[in-house]
Structure 1
Amino acid sequence: MQANDLLARAAARHACDMAQRGRMTHAGSRSSGPSQRVKALGYAPTVTAENIAAGPSAWIGFWRNGTPLRAMSRTS
């Protein structure tokens, strides 16, 4: 697994959009989901998925409990 600038940019924009709207959702104010957002920036995914959590403690709790989010986050 390695960092990708386009994906980081899409995530940051979506995080700001959610904060401005006061909502945590996969749908953005200008997109229906993560696939549409990353494709708009030029990324060509085979499959797109995203995890949304309110702060690092929420994410770590889900990850440690072995939920499907853990498996998704470890897939490269």
Structure 2
Amino acid sequence: MTALPRDVPSSTRLNSAQWLRSSYSTGANNCVETARLSGRLAVRDSKNPGGPALLFSPESWAGFTAAFH
């Protein structure tokens, strides 16, 4: 079994991704943005759009976000 990469340089592989900003954003640019990629969810810091992004499986992301509700 091949492990998935844990982060991908946004500037080289995620340029064509359609990033969505959190609806909880205050407009101060202190939130996260997400994009769907090949069955995974990429998450990046809105203050550093050219920086790395973390990749999550749908199940992992659902578990992570459920912990905060």
* TM-score (structure 2 length as normaliser): 0.29
Between structure 1 and structure 2, the one with the greater Rg is 1
Higher helix share: 1
Indicate the structure with greater strand content: 2
